[in-house]
Amino acid sequence: MEKFAKWYVETILKNANEVLIILLVISSILGIYTLFGLKVNADITGLAPKNNPDFEDLVKYTTEKVTSNTLIVVIDGVKKLNPDSIAQELKDIFEKTDYINQAEPFDNPETLVKYGMLALGEGSIGDTLNYYQSLARVEPKTLIDFRFWRNLGVALYDLNSYIENLVQKSGIKKYYLLSPDKELIVMNFSMKKPMSDVKFVTQAVEYLKKVIKEFEERKGVKTYFTGGVMSTYEANKQASKDFTFTTLISMVAIIIIIILGFGSVLELIILSSGLILSMAIALGLIAIFLRELNIVTTFVNAMLLGMGIDYAMYIVTRIQERFNVEGVSRESIVNAFIENFRPSFISMLTTALAFMGMFLSASNAIKQMGLSVSLGVVVYFFVFNTFVPIMHDKLLSKFKERQRETYIRIVDIVRKNKALMSLTIALTILLSVVGVYSILHFSYTTSSLIPKKSETNIASEIIAKKFGSVASSDVVIAAMNSETLSNEISKLKEKGIITSDFSILTFIQDPEKIAEEKSNIYLQVLQITNTPFLEVLFKKYGLYESFVSTVDVIKNITTTEDLFKLMEKDIPSLFYQDINGKKNLLAYITSSVNIWEGNNFKNFFESLSGYKVYGYAVLFYKIITELIHSTIWVFGIVFLIELIVLYTDFRRFRKASMILLLTTLNTLAAFGISYLVGIKTTFITFIVLPIFLGIGVDSLVELDHSVKYGRESIIKTEKAVIMSILTTVASFGSFLFAQGQLLREFGFVTSAGLIGTLIISLFWYLNVAERIHRKSSNRQTVSQEEHAQ
């Protein structure tokens, strides 16, 4: 490898001008392509594995169903205005755009299903009907507590008044909800495309914001957007902002560290230029291969900045050291390159192969992460090991010999302290135990990609404050026939998993016996239309006329299929044709717990194991589950790859195993310290496991190789390791400044792990490596002496 390194560095130095021109042209072309070709897509559906029928079916459902394409508009400050006029004008404005399908009336069953408002009770309409009729049959003499009658009277009066008030709504009134204090209006608008189409959602929200601005100024009101569409938009925009902002912070922090570490503006210019060239080429290639980044790969650029600058740190430190020892000359550059090439190449190879191993994962997100980082690492290694030697050679006359930094020698002395070594070992093991606990108690409830003060959250809080809450009935169970659906609903209720449901069973108890029971259904419909409270109720829901007209149709129903066709016309959201073309009956279910609190998200969906379930939340749960399995699988693959590469380098299985063991312990310790500060292990931080196997071994490999060159080599490698880890911490630490809580948590875990790597490398592994090397050298000396004798 030394021969290749010598040939390579001498070749690029001999053809320096041509090489620089090629680098500049390639980086310029790919950099421009990046600006126009690389997008950020924060939609969770983008993480679903490709060519997987189960996930394709879930994505198909979320794309088709109305629950996934609604924009909720909140209009505040209408107390002194005419709400009808405000709602009508906004309806007209939005419906004239190319993005809005229509304003959704609140007496539309589709809308009511979405908001979880179409729930008459835990049973069917027949059960509810029997309840109301039973009230009339209660004998007063059996009820001693007269408060029952008073409370019942008040309740029925309030119910009747409320329903009559809703029924009176006609025209524009049915398209909005007015808060009790007359201050707030809420309207729903269905989009022409689902929110999984992030490009469409982005264009739609930005255009509608422009349209509504003039409306706000003219009417003197304040509007807010919320709902699934707005959440997707804000998550995508915030991810893009965080991507740009963290990259900027990374660059600034790296520049500061370079100035403090090397004390040379010239080195700063060289390294900054190399960073720009590397970043342009890496992102350009990523843009060509991937086109867009998902929420997992959003932070890939900051990662590459942190990991890629390592290769610059190693080569620059060695060149400087050679300048100090051998003098400022081309020969010093060549010798430094040869000394640096092997450990730097091994570090790059372990990292690139580790991340390339992620490409074997079924998860699309992890595949993209693996491809992006492995590709980027190779680019940064190649550019820095080409550009840095050439620029040092061209600017040779500008460099001078410098005194070695005193602080590095102090570090070299301090790190040999046995007490510090013991403390490092104890803390690492203790924190790794906490880390294992954190991983075993993995949280499916993740933090948000968007900040708490986002418009989506503000609007939701306003609605909750004025109306109490607006629930979403997003989770549904599906079955091929009503008998199966009925049994599954009954089991879920018996176990206390759900509290209510809405399906065709809400209207007809046993659709499979439609031919036998149609006379009973006929009577039931007549009873409903003659029950005062239910009559008003069904008028409100827009179903009254359908039931009245259905009386005649029922006479001609002979099969279940006839019934389903009839009902699907009125309430299509209760039916779904899956990816295999089979018709499913849907039941919208309400969980008995808040699934977004604690770890209820995991517990709820685990309790639905064995059921056919749909919904955006279901898709999210299954994607997280897939990510967990993929991460564990990838961790094993990466571990094996690293072991092979390290064994090939050192030819010692024990040493290769020790490096991987220390790296793994350090990673677990990072999870431990994060848990202690309140950061739970989630799908986004869990990915750190294989990532750290890829980047955590670098410093250990570099230090181990430096031992055989003696103390001076160790000291300069210590500096390179400190500089490289600090720049990497600066890159990952930049996520702490992101607005999205999810990225901040990822930034903390990775930064904690990197600092742990620095401590373990210097205060633990280097001391052990030196001791082993001394023993080995002593044995060789004794062996040589015995052989000489």
Q: What is the pLDDT of residues 502-551, one digit of tens each?
A: 777 766 555 555 545 444 444 454 454 444 444 444 454 444 454 445 55
Higher pLDDT, 118 or 682: 682
Tokens 């299985």 belong to: 653
Mean pLDDT confidence for 131-144: 43
Of the candidate ranges 84-98, 211-225, 529-543, the one whose mean pLDDT is the lowest: 529-543
Q: Hey, CA dihedral for 415, 421, 427, 433, is it positive or negative?
A: positive
Is pLDDT at 135 greater than 70 in this prediction?
no
The helix/strand/coil state of 110 is helix
Contact by Cβ (8 Å): 555, 518: yes
What pLDDT score does 634 carry?
81
Higher pLDDT, 446 or 346: 346
Mean pLDDT confidence for 150-158: 45
Higher pLDDT, 35 or 91: 91
Distance CA 473, CA 450 (A): 22
Is pLDDT at 101 greater than 70 in this prediction?
yes
Strand 292-293 relative to strand 476-479: parallel, antiparallel, unpaired? unpaired
Q: How far is CA 604 from CA 495, 497, 611, 667, in A?
A: 12, 7, 12, 30
Strand 184-191 relative to strand 177-178: parallel, antiparallel, unpaired? antiparallel
What pLDDT score does 25 carry?
95
Contact by Cβ (8 Å): 386, 18: no
What pLDDT score does 389 carry?
93
- Write phi, then psi, for 477 (nearest 5 degrees): -110, 150
Of the candidate ranges 228-242, 540-554, 576-590, the one whose mean pLDDT is the lowest: 540-554
Mean pLDDT confidence for 98-109: 76
The helix/strand/coil state of 726 is helix
What pLDDT score does 385 carry?
93
Distance CA 233, CA 222 (A): 20
- Write phi, then psi, for 267 (nearest 5 degrees): -60, -40
Confidence of residue 7 (pLDDT cuts 50, 70, 90): very high
Confidence of residue 353 (pLDDT cuts 50, 70, 90): confident
Confidence of residue 9 (pLDDT cuts 50, 70, 90): very high
Higher pLDDT, 728 or 111: 728
Enumerate residues 6+ apart whose C-beta is below 8 A from 151: none
106-134 pLDDT per residue, tens: 655 545 444 444 333 344 444 444 544 44
Tokens 């051998």 belong to: 326
Type and span of the H or E element at 431: helix 418-440
What pLDDT score does 553 carry?
55
Contact by Cβ (8 Å): 277, 314: no
What pLDDT score does 18 carry?
93
* Angle separating helix axes 514-529 and 544-554, nearest 10 degrees: 140
Contact by Cβ (8 Å): 650, 705: no
What pLDDT score does 26 carry?
94
Dihedral angle computed from the Cα positions of residues 320, 321, 322 and 327, in that order, rounded to the nearest 10 degrees = 80
Higher pLDDT, 349 or 170: 349
What pLDDT score does 40 carry?
63
Enumerate residues 6+ apart whose C-beta is below 8 A from 585: 478, 479, 480, 481, 482, 485, 503, 504, 564, 574, 575
Higher pLDDT, 40 or 88: 88
Q: In 3D, which of 525, 536, 497 has the Cα closest to residue 166?
A: 536
Higher pLDDT, 633 or 301: 633
Q: How far is CA 268 from CA 261, 313, 380, 394, in A?
A: 10, 11, 16, 15
What pLDDT score does 79 carry?
85
Distance CA 184, CA 198 (A): 29
What pLDDT score does 142 carry?
38
Q: Hey, CA dihedral for 276, 281, 284, 290, is it positive or negative?
A: negative
Is pLDDT at 748 greater than 50 in this prediction?
yes
In the DSSP assignment, the letter for residue 735 is G
Report for 10-14, 283-287, 689-693, 700-704: range of highest mean pLDDT: 10-14
Type and span of the H or E element at 178: strand 177-178
**Which two three-digit tokens encode residue 656?**
């290769």
**Which two three-digit tokens encode residue 324?**
């100090």
What pLDDT score does 404 carry?
58
Higher pLDDT, 668 or 165: 668
**Which two three-digit tokens encode residue 498?**
């759900």
Is pLDDT at 573 greater than 80 in this prediction?
no
Q: What percent of the chain has pLDDT over 70?
A: 74
Ramachandran region, residue 36 (left: φ > 0; alpha: ψ -120 to 50; beta: rest): alpha
What pLDDT score does 115 carry?
45
Counting DSSP H helices and E strands in the chain, the numbers are 30, 12
What pLDDT score does 27 carry?
92
**Predicted model pTM:** 0.67
Enumerate residues 6+ apart whose C-beta is below 8 A from 757: 663, 666, 692, 696, 699, 725
408-437 pLDDT per residue, tens: 667 777 777 888 888 888 999 999 999 999
The helix/strand/coil state of 469 is coil
Distance CA 211, CA 206 (A): 9
367-396 pLDDT per residue, tens: 888 888 888 899 999 999 999 999 999 988
Where would I find the beta strands (DSSP E) of 104-146? none
What pLDDT score does 683 carry?
76
Of the candidate ranges 39-53, 217-231, 331-345, 496-510, the one whose mean pLDDT is the lowest: 39-53
What pLDDT score does 753 carry?
86
Q: What percent of the chain has pLDDT over 90?
A: 10
Strand 575-577 relative to strand 100-103: parallel, antiparallel, unpaired? unpaired
Of the candidate ranges 535-549, 592-606, 618-632, 682-696, the one whose mean pLDDT is the lowest: 535-549
446-478 pLDDT per residue, tens: 665 566 677 877 887 787 777 655 544 568 889
Is pLDDT at 493 greater than 90 in this prediction?
no
Contact by Cβ (8 Å): 115, 471: yes
Contact by Cβ (8 Å): 205, 233: yes
Q: What's the chain's Rg over C-alpha atoms? A: 33
